[in-house]
Amino acid sequence: MTTDRPYRLWQNPGWGSAIIEAQLAAYGLPYELVTGGDIYHDATARAGVARLNPAGQIPTLELPSGEVVTESAAMTLLLAEVTGRDDLVPAPGAPERAAFLRWLMFLVASVYPAGSYADAAEKLVPEVAGVAEYRRRVVAKRGDLWRLVEAEAARRGGDWVLGGRFTALDLYVAVMTHWQPGPAWFAAETPHLAAIAARVATRPDMAEVFARNWP
């Protein structure tokens, strides 16, 4: 995979693509950004992304080899493997490895979809009158899931989700706390996660990424 071609990240500012953009920046990998557009409400934008990713999802990552990778957890594990580094992903045998994999999959399989379902409420609930209530319930469920992550961070102590060890989990938290239920909710209900997000945003290697995604 070592070519002169950059990685190409299909993204939208403030979306889940910011998690992968942050990892590319942290590793110092060459990359370019391609704006995907509103895949939820714009059929043309969705079709454009679907040429590479049939699910029409963002983020979608094109590797220097031309291979396309979808699903942020797959990208997270692959980038660590490609770079041969353990900055963001504890290596096999590391004491934090099991917990990292557990909570990575929890974030992408449980917490992340709750936000996607709320964003697409108009498509999932045919009765217009029920859209607001559906969205409210999904966001409330997401809050319950976040409380489980908060409990884990509080139990471990330290500055990061896994305690004293910075990982890609902290990048997920820093990005996703910008989303529903919203920063004020996180500050009040999950103070450990809010503090982690603030620490990530002040890291020198993250400054440009976060300024671009949340100007």
Q: What residues does each domain of the chain span?
A: 7-86, 97-204
> Do the domains at 7-86 and 97-204 have one common CATH topology?
no
Per-residue CA distances from 24 to 46, 144, 194 (Å): 24, 30, 23
- Topology of 7-86 in CATH? Glutaredoxin (3.40.30)
Q: pLDDT tens-digit profile of 141-154?
A: 889 999 999 999 99
Q: Residue written as tokens 């503090």?
A: 195
Residue 163 has pLDDT above 60, yes or no: yes
Q: pLDDT tens-digit profile of 49-72?
A: 999 999 999 999 999 999 999 999
Looking at the domain covering 97-204, what would its CATH class be?
A: mainly alpha
